[in-house]
Amino acid sequence: MSDLPTPNILLSNRETSQLKFIQSALLSKGAEFNSEKHLNFTRITFDSSVEGRVPVEVVAESIVTINKFQVLKSLISEYQSKNFEIYALIGALMSVEVDNEIKRIEKLIGMPEEIAPESFVAFRAEDLKDDWEELKVLASVLIKQCRNPEDIYRLIPYFLSPEDGLGVEVRKGPVAYCPEKIVIPEYTGDKNVDAVIEIVRRRPRQVVIKEPELLDERLLNTLRALGE
């Protein structure tokens, strides 16, 4: 166990999506914590068994994930379709440099007694937002050149690392390998849309669909299209 202190997390009650992301991510890591809700904010405190880096890592990922989506989400209205390919593209855009961005935020956070993620990008990493705005402008230009969903799907691999490939397999029955449980942030409030964004953002090598009949057809079709 690390001797580093475990920082508390202080979140505005307005930041509901970030609060849910952080709480879910902490649970997925097995971190024991308490959430104390006050009038305007919620304070998350930790059991002494939780290592100090865990809250820092979770908060850094939430800062990058939530803020990057806020910049890129206007692309949705630029692409008129009821299908999910635009959300897959946004997931791919969110994956660009994401590991380095999270590491940078971790360093900026350091190991304080309390972490307050609200407005962190605006005050301490404004150039990250500038990078995301440039990425959005590039994507907007490319989207305007796409005539159909197939064009969008052909565009997606350019924003993923060369070694990334999404294999999709429909397999009923037990799966021998149990992958790490991931947290699906509430990007839009639509669970199927949010799942597409987050699956692509995480750049998995393989997605195993055990019960395709339970999935929204548009989600299933999107995953299959990505795997082709």
Mean pLDDT of all residues in 127-143: 95
Check residue 223 and give its pLDDT. 83
- Three-state helix/strand/coil letters over the chain: CCCCCCCEEEEECCCHHHHHHHHHHHHHCCCCEEEEECCCEEEEEECCCCCCHHHHHHHHHHHHHHHHHHHHCCHHHHCCCCCCHHHHHHHHHHHCCHHHHHHHHHHHHCCCCEECCCCHHHHHCHHHHHHHHHHHHHHHHHHHCCCCHHHHHHHHHHHCCCCCCCEEEECCCCCCCCCCCCCCCCCCCCHHHHHHHHHHHCCCCEEEECCHHHCCHHHHHHHHHHHC
User: What's the pLDDT at 175?
Assistant: 43
Question: How confident is the model over 94-109, as pLDDT tens digits?
Answer: 999 999 999 999 999 9
- Ranges of each domain in the chain: 8-227
- For range 27-48, the mean pLDDT: 92
Proportion of the chain above pLDDT 90, given as a percent: 52
Question: In the structure, what pLDDT confidence band is assigned to residue 140 with cuts at 50, 70 and 90?
Answer: very high
Write down the pLDDT at residue 170. 54
